[in-house]
Amino acid sequence: MAQITPSKLISLSSAVVCAFFVCQSCVHKYEFHLEQPKDTTVVIEGMITNENKRQIVYVSQVSRYDNNRRAPVSGAMVAVTASNDSTYYYFEDTLNLGTYVSEYPFIGVAGNIYYLNVKVNGSTYTAESNMLPVTPPEKIKFTRNESGMLSIAHVAESFVADNPAMYTVDLDWSGVDGYKEYDPKNTRARLYYYSLTTVDVSQLFAPKIEKIEFPEGTQVIERKYSIDHNYELFLRSLLTETQWCGGYFDEAHGNLHTNISNNGAGYFSACTIAADTVYAK
């Protein structure tokens, strides 16, 4: 009988291990098919502001897995009525289906309550929002790194006892020398900030976000939005599912807060805006 020496045993073991990994490394092509969800929930998004413009309401349905695309709903009847008895009718933009624009420009007035009415596919959806006054935004603070590039150091406190607010900060350095030949997509950015009346653990331990750096001379347009209590609840639920998600203390996931009736989704708000423009230095 032939004997298996230690060297032969090692060679045999190596051959078995190699055969195991070769079998495990087989790759088979798998076609992943995205199916259109059966959910026909109507999603309504709109905001009334004190800017003199044609206000917009978006009507869509729950889309596929594309996070940045709407599934537009056409043929809706959209109107907004203010508590001062003014009524504004909206008409669909034929070049952007599902986008409904007020027939004429109008200015939202602080102190009014605005009522949304949307009729689509035999169903009626309503919502209301109280337009509150807004205080002027704080002065933005910048910080400079060793290479001379700037970034946002402070916009507003994340926690306030009352008067919650939302901020947008639009950056544009396309006109700065040395950047004029760049693709405009690479010389503009929009940042969001929130001052809420609650502090959440998921907020305190939120994951890091990218720091946007820009050169001196960048145009900075800051807008501060007044928000009522219900809109604050919506924003908090949105942040929990997005910006605050992925940290050490995630909350249980769920549907976003909404003020759309009849089992609709989305949010309709009325916000007063205070704006300020500076050039970073």
User: Which structural domain, as residue segments, surrounds residue 209?
Assistant: 141-253+272-279
- Asked if residue 74 is part of any domain, the answer here is yes
Q: Report the number of distinct structural domains present in the chain.
A: 2
Do 235 and 146 share a structural domain? yes
Q: Is residue 238 domain-shared with residue 181, that is, in the same domain?
A: yes
Q: What is the pLDDT of residues 180-229, one digit of tens each?
A: 999 989 999 999 999 999 887 777 777 777 889 999 999 999 999 999 99
Answer yes or no: is 34 within a domain.
no
Instruction: Answer yes or no: is 11 within a domain.
Output: no
Same-domain pairing of 63 and 116: yes
Least confident of 65-69, 214-218, 260-264, 277-281: 65-69
pLDDT range class, residue 26, cuts 50, 70, 90: low
Residue 227 lies in a domain: yes
Which residue, 83, 98, 130, sits at the end of a domain? 130
230 occurs within a structural domain: yes
pTM, 2 dp = 0.81
How far apart are the C-alpha atoms of 191 and 168, rounded to whole Å? 6
Q: Tell whether 103 is covered by a domain.
A: yes
Say if 19 falls within a structural domain. Answer: no
- Residue that terminates a domain, selected from 81, 107, 130: 130
Q: Which residue has the higher pLDDT, 281 or 206?
A: 281
Q: CA-CA distances (angstroms) from residue 138 to 70, 135, 157, 275?
A: 34, 9, 10, 10
How far apart CA 260 and CA 257 sit, in angstroms, is 9
Looking at the fold, whether 201 and 125 belong to one and the same domain comes out as no
Mean pLDDT of 31-55: 81
Report how far residue 231's alpha carbon sits from residue 26's, in angstroms, rounded to the nearest whole number. 52
Mean pLDDT of 47-73: 85
| CATH at 86 | 2.60.40
Per-residue pLDDT at 9 exceeds 80: no
Task: Kindly state whether residue 100 falls inside one of the protein's structural domains.
Answer: yes
